[in-house]
Homo-oligomer: A and B are copies of this chain.
């Protein structure tokens, strides 16, 4: 049986996921639960860890334990302050925060990163730094779609900067709470997506083009079934256009997503003449934490 080399924990807002990794970063065993940090009472983090991973911890008393994600936020186990960009895996490894998981045994928490865009506006991420490090990219951009999408700029293997977009949150909010949502009919007609992608390039910006969609339905130019895909295309197209404008030119584009989200972003990128490599979130998480562990061990040796 392979000896495990790392207990890697992805502890987010709504989910707890733990992986027993070998020295090559391959997953030997996994566990997953709904013990996201929102579900854990103050002081309750060590107990959750023991309930979910106690057998692994007992079986491997010297196994390194590293956690990433919202567990290091103000509402998590302990706050791991943001590390400023640019940052390598070694920079991140150096400022991990340790917590006692019982009997003096320590686990480490990966800090989030902060940056400022060209205009000085600040940005932060927590969890995505680990995912981006796991994307095995030397130069280019890692796109992580989501409620608050991240575009992570990689230069010579280090995280140079990044930018967030409220795409997922706005999509849900528009459909739930604006005039556009009232016009939506289900099932969705996916042909609306390409119309939204085109609209993102048109004059007037997001709030004009979103209203134009409403008018198109009113005038019979667009079907209610196309509304949600149109909005998705408009928002993702706007994100892709702004994201590409802020990203370093050249280099590879890596898209970390699954299913329809992966399809939608790949389609939006293709409409702007860009190809991408699609990678899985789990694979990047485990590879990213393995890289942080390796960097911390090299630092210790120096």
Q: Which residues of A approach B to under 8 Å, CB–CB?
A: 114, 117-119, 121-124, 148, 163-167, 169-170, 173-174, 176-179, 199, 202-212, 215-216, 218-219, 221, 235, 238-239, 241-242, 245-246
Residues of B within 8 A of A117 (CB): 202-204, 208, 212
Query: Of B177, B204, B211, B242, which contacts A173 at CB under 8 A?
Result: B177
In the docked arrangement, what's the CA distance between A98 and B203, Å? 37
In the docked arrangement, what's the CA distance between A121 and B177, Å? 23
Residue among A122, A164, A165, A204 facing the most chain B CB atoms (10 A cut-off)? A204
> Contacts A204-B246, A206-B206; is A178 near B167 (CB within 8 Å)?
no
Residues of B within 8 A of A203 (CB): 117-119, 242, 245-246
> Contacts A114-B219, A173-B178; is A239 near B121 (CB within 8 Å)?
no
Copies of this chain, count: 2
Residues of B within 8 A of A163 (CB): 204, 208
Query: Of B123, B199, B204, B207, which contacts A235 at CB under 8 A?
Result: B207
A242 and B176 contact, CB distance less than 8 A: no
10 tightest CB-CB pairs across the interface, nearest first? A121-B212, A119-B202, A166-B207, A205-B242, A164-B211, A165-B207, A122-B215, A204-B242, A173-B177, A166-B211
In the docked arrangement, what's the CA distance between A205 and B235, Å? 11
A-B contact pairs, 29 of them (CB 8 A): A114-B219, A117-B204, A118-B202, A119-B199, A121-B199, A121-B202, A121-B212, A121-B216, A122-B212, A122-B215, A123-B212, A148-B179, A165-B204, A165-B205, A166-B178, A166-B207, A166-B210, A169-B178, A170-B207, A173-B173, A173-B177, A177-B177, A203-B245, A203-B246, A204-B245, A206-B206, A206-B207, A206-B238, A207-B239
Residues of B within 8 A of A179 (CB): 148, 166, 169
In the docked arrangement, what's the CA distance between A174 and B169, Å? 10
B205 and A238 contact, CB distance less than 8 A: yes
Query: Of B114, B119, B221, which contacts A122 at CB under 8 A?
Result: B221
In the docked arrangement, what's the CA distance between A170 and B208, Å? 11
> Nearest Cβ in chain B — how far from A174, in angstroms?
8
A215 and B123 contact, CB distance less than 8 A: yes
Residues of B within 8 A of A210 (CB): 166
In the complex, residue of chain B having the shortest beta-carbon distance to the beta carbon of A220 = B122
Q: A166-B178, A169-B179 are in contact. List 20 more A-B contacts (CB 8 A).
A: A118-B202, A119-B203, A122-B216, A123-B211, A123-B212, A148-B179, A148-B211, A163-B204, A163-B208, A164-B212, A165-B207, A166-B207, A166-B210, A167-B207, A205-B206, A205-B241, A206-B207, A206-B238, A207-B242, A208-B246
A170 and B165 contact, CB distance less than 8 A: no
In the docked arrangement, what's the CA distance between A215 and B112, Å? 13
> Nearest Cβ in chain B — how far from A192, in angstroms?
14
